[in-house]
Amino acid sequence: MIRGGKSYVSSPPAFSNDAKRLLVCTGSTVSVFSTSTGLQMGSLEGHVALVTSVIVVPDSSPAGRFLCYCWTASLDGTIRYWDFSVLELMKTVDVRLPIFSMVIPSLLSQQNESSERSPDVFAYISVENIRAPETQPKALRGQVRKCNLTKSSLAGGVTLKETKKPEYITISSSGEFFGILDKQKLHIWKVPEIESERVVLKRIDLHHTKKFTVFAFHPTQRIVAAGDVTGRILVWRGFGKRTFSIGDGQPNGRLTNFDEDKPGVRGNDDADNCTTWHWHPHEVCCLVFSSDGAYMYSGGREGVLVVWQIDTGKKKFLPRIGSPLLYFVDSPDPSLASISCADNQMHLLKMPAMEMVKSISGIKLPFSPPEAVSSLCGGCVFDEKAGVVALHTENYGIQFYSLFDDHAISEVQVCERNHQPGNEITVVVTQLALSVDGSFMSTVEVRLPEEDIGGLVCLKFWTSDSEDKRFRLLTVIYEPHRDSDISAVAFRPTQLMAVTSSYGGDFKTWVCGDEIERREVQNTGWTCYAVGSYKKRPMTAATFSADGSVLAVAAETVITLWDPDRNILVAVIGHAFTPIKTLSFVGQSGYIVSASRGSRPQLSVWSLSKSSKLWSYSLQIEAVTCLGDSSTFAILALLPKLATESQGMALGGRDGAILTFDVNRPDPVAVWSVRKAEGGALAFIQGSPSQENITQGKTSCGLLAFINGDHEYVLFDPYSDEATEHGVAHRTGLVSEETEKYGYSSIYGELQEFNLERSQTTEITVAPSEKPWATLFSGSSQTLPPLTKLCSAFLESLLEKRPAVVEQ
């Protein structure tokens, strides 16, 4: 089994002491990357929920730079101690509360070097109080607690602060101060010189009129800076001089003269002065001081890193990063730093020039398109032979991601866009298709009208000469279906032909100008080959058979079959209750699967030779995939919301199911329940993995790839028991061993069975039925005669017929 697609930016990363490795929280694991190559070297596996903090034990001597120990905290309620040089777990502390953030001050201070006895190691953790009632809107579910890591227990009765939700803890580089944000307040604690479980920590509060978003401590001076939702940065100097003073006999500073001049400081806050810096037009998301304290780095939604000179306030910039900034992390090597971006990328910077030397790209995270075009947008597309998935990106691009290696291969910019966080989305890439060999790509982009004026649909064809999926543009076609939107795009497996279907009531086939020579770009344009329609109905889906001999196009609720070479309508089959959204051939061309969505969703399997329906289910289908030339196919179905709400505990948060079928049988061959199925995708992968972590190095003829709505994925052998782990739970007994009733029999009951084998000498006697109308509606619904014929036959059966008179 292969898992991947985790977020790299859920929490700040951490550098090793020699700055040669970068530890990144990736789901329930911690991935270790090389800073020189950007490739993953290994992972720390043991947590069973999201890892929220990773802290590298710093070196306290020149030889300590080779130490490779770290602490991690997770929502599973455990704190773990690792040797990440050998990827080995050393210790586990179970606090039994979900941990959202953790700091360990004693690792950063140097006071323990001179102590004769090593004191207990304490961590301050931000946890969720799971005992607080969820029904009370004002319940305080966030707590800042103290944990004794040496004794593997929480400090009894010590709760520093309660908040409405768990907050992120920020610590100073010296380990002397740490704090949290709580709306318009900044709470700062001073760590005592001698730690114990019962020692009382002093605290100050700094106030603001706007909601805080992030803050940072100066490494050497009593300076703290905090950013707010408006883009302002407040800098307090001399904070905590009264409250944190030592030996004055007044720990809370009650007798200090409050009339002194404190410019910019609100009320009775404990600080000498407060200044405001403002450049960011939106909220500040990233804020940190340089290791020498001379500069401050800030970033936000505009995708620009700002470097502030502390003494003068002057600024310089690293622009056009292309995505909102989340974290800036310094390394022990002053010439190296990293920034984490909202598009699931981490960039390694050469300091102080701020030059990007390496990027570590994760899978692109999902985004919500504008509601006006959400119904037009298709999902991700797979290159099944190469084990690559192509995903839409928020910046009008397509990312190609290797499922076997769990890293990005390339990114194609379909339409140019400068990252401007305040601008509305004006272009959406709605459709994407890849040829069978992965050398051609087609995209559809829609430019949204402004105030109901304008709007444009653009069809593009691309080609790639290499395995790295670096596509170049071949042909651009504006308004391929006049002013109608495109519902589907598909390539013909055997020839350079593609089809586009339109809600305007037609479909078009496209061919490449010549059989393209790989090294020549001349005369390689795509042109329209034929146009087809059926009763002016909207064409809602289209696909080719595996051998390319049949083109199937859904005309709303029926399936039309065409000869793609001669553009001749061959047959019309099926009738769905709602418009068909997905078509897929099973095997070569003998069967076809259709899926419709809406108020009456339906999955149907049709036999082309019989032009009839074999069986169907009433399921909300998210994806359909077929296994090569075999009769096996799989679907991703959404569970009914009523079922997930009523059986939430039993399902364990799973809201969907993967079902595999043999086309000749309505009973599923296997069923798995999955999480985050909505917006997911499914495909049989034929490629060969590059790492031996699938079923003892043995692979079947097809691996099943499931990508959930958060773009996390798993590749597993559907015939192996390993699929029961990590979010793909096998359900046995979901379908009863008894023969279930489908279609007509599920409503009216089983029909009487007749013995069709008759002797030739048997005399057949035909007798009129006492109730001839009782058998008029017997049989499958798709084989009944038209209603006009049924009505006349039904009325005639009610009339008494005159007996025939035989003349002598």
At residue 728's C-alpha, the angle toward residues 723 and 731, to 5°, is 85
3-class SS of residue 428? strand
Residue 145 C-alpha from the chain's centroid: 32
pLDDT per residue as tens digits for the range 227-246: 999 999 999 999 998 888 75
Share of the chain above pLDDT 90, in %: 57
| 351 pLDDT above the threshold of 70 | yes
Span between the terminal Cα atoms of the chain, in Å: 86
Q: Which amino acid is at 180?
A: I
CA distance 106 to 121: 7
3-class SS of residue 106? helix
Look-up: residue for tokens 């691996």? 703
Contact of 618 with 602, CB cutoff 8 Å: yes
**What pLDDT does residue 549 have?**
92
Beta pairing partners, 602 = 596
Number of H helices, E strands in the chain: 5, 57
CA distance 575 to 396: 37
Between the CA of residue 664 and those of 613, 632, 669, 741, 750, what are the distances in Å? 11, 9, 11, 15, 20
Between the CA of residue 506 and those of 443, 482, 485, 567, 584, what are the distances in Å? 18, 10, 11, 12, 19
pLDDT per residue as tens digits for the range 724-745: 444 455 544 333 333 344 444 4
In this prediction, residues 760-777 reach a mean pLDDT of 43
Q: What sign results for the dihedral spanned by CA atoms 567, 571, 573, 578?
A: positive
> What single string gives the DSSP state of each residue in 15-71?
E-TTSSEEEEEETTEEEEEETTT--EEEEEE--SS-EEEEEE---SSGGGGG--EEE
Residue with the bigger pLDDT between 112 and 246: it is 246
Between the CA of residue 801 and those of 187, 774, 791, 807, what are the distances in Å? 96, 17, 17, 18
Give the full edge-to-edge strand order of the sheet including 212-217: 212-217, 223-228, 232-237, 273-278
Between the CA of residue 357 and those of 182, 449, 566, 574, 684, what are the distances in Å? 37, 40, 54, 57, 37
Contact of 25 with 11, CB cutoff 8 Å: yes
Indicate the pLDDT class of residue 61, thresholds 50, 70 and 90. Answer: low
How many CB atoms sit inside 10 A of residue 51's CB?
27
| 253 pLDDT above the threshold of 90 | no
Between the CA of residue 555 and those of 485, 552, 601, 605, 703, what are the distances in Å? 15, 10, 16, 17, 33
Mean pLDDT of all residues belonging to the chain = 83
Residue with the bigger pLDDT between 564 and 754: it is 564
pLDDT per residue as tens digits for the range 175-224: 999 999 999 999 999 998 888 888 889 999 999 999 999 999 999 999 99
3-class SS of residue 697? helix
Contact of 396 with 445, CB cutoff 8 Å: yes
| 254 pLDDT above the threshold of 60 | no
| 327 pLDDT above the threshold of 90 | yes
How many CB atoms sit inside 10 A of residue 580's CB?
24
pLDDT per residue as tens digits for the range 299-317: 999 899 999 999 888 999 9
Indicate the pLDDT class of residue 489, thresholds 50, 70 and 90. Answer: very high
| 339 pLDDT above the threshold of 90 | yes
**What pLDDT does residue 691 have?**
44
Indicate the pLDDT class of residue 575, thresholds 50, 70 and 90. Answer: confident
Residues 6+ apart with CB under 8 A from 615: 604, 605, 666, 742, 743
> 311-326: buried (b, 16+ CB within 10 Å) or exposed (e) per residue?
eeeeeeebeebebbbb
| 323 pLDDT above the threshold of 60 | yes
Torsion angles phi and psi, residue 273, rounded to 5: -160, 165
Using CB atoms within 10 A of its CB, is residue 636 exposed (0-12), middle (13-18) or buried (19+)? buried
**What pLDDT does residue 664 have?**
87
CA distance 319 to 304: 5
Torsion angles phi and psi, residue 103, rounded to 5: -135, 150
Q: How many CA atoms, within 13 angstroms, populate the side-chain half-sphere of residue 749?
A: 2
pLDDT per residue as tens digits for the range 390-410: 999 988 899 999 999 998 999
Closest of 469, 462, 450 to residue 410, by C-alpha: 469
Indicate the pLDDT class of residue 692, thresholds 50, 70 and 90. Answer: very low
Q: Which amino acid is at 418?
A: N
| 164 pLDDT above the threshold of 70 | yes
162, two tokens: 């309660």
pLDDT per residue as tens digits for the range 64-92: 566 789 999 999 999 999 999 999 999 99
Region of poorest pLDDT, from 185-194, 357-366, 435-444, 757-766: 757-766
Contact of 161 with 133, CB cutoff 8 Å: no
Which helix (H) or strand (E) segment is 620 a member of? strand 620-626
CA distance 339 to 190: 28
In this prediction, residues 572-583 reach a mean pLDDT of 89
**What pLDDT does residue 468 have?**
78
Beta pairing partners, 364 = none
Contact of 351 with 38, CB cutoff 8 Å: no
3-class SS of residue 772? helix
pLDDT per residue as tens digits for the range 376-388: 888 899 998 889 9
CA distance 754 to 764: 14
Indicate the pLDDT class of residue 30, thresholds 50, 70 and 90. Answer: very high
| 466 pLDDT above the threshold of 80 | no
Indicate the pLDDT class of residue 448, thresholds 50, 70 and 90. Answer: confident
pTM of the predicted model over 0.85: no
**What pLDDT does residue 668 have?**
92
CA distance 787 to 764: 31
Contact of 159 with 147, CB cutoff 8 Å: no
CA distance 315 to 429: 37
384, two tokens: 């099944």
225-230 long-range Cβ contacts below 8 angstroms, 24+ apart: 225/287, 225/289, 225/296, 226/181, 226/186, 226/287, 227/280, 227/283, 227/284, 227/285, 227/287, 227/298, 227/300, 228/283, 228/284, 229/283, 230/283
CA distance 787 to 793: 10
CA distance 577 to 782: 12
| 115 pLDDT above the threshold of 80 | no
3-class SS of residue 208? coil
3-class SS of residue 100? strand
Residue with the bigger pLDDT between 609 and 133: it is 609
3-class SS of residue 793? helix
Which helix (H) or strand (E) segment is 308 a member of? strand 305-309
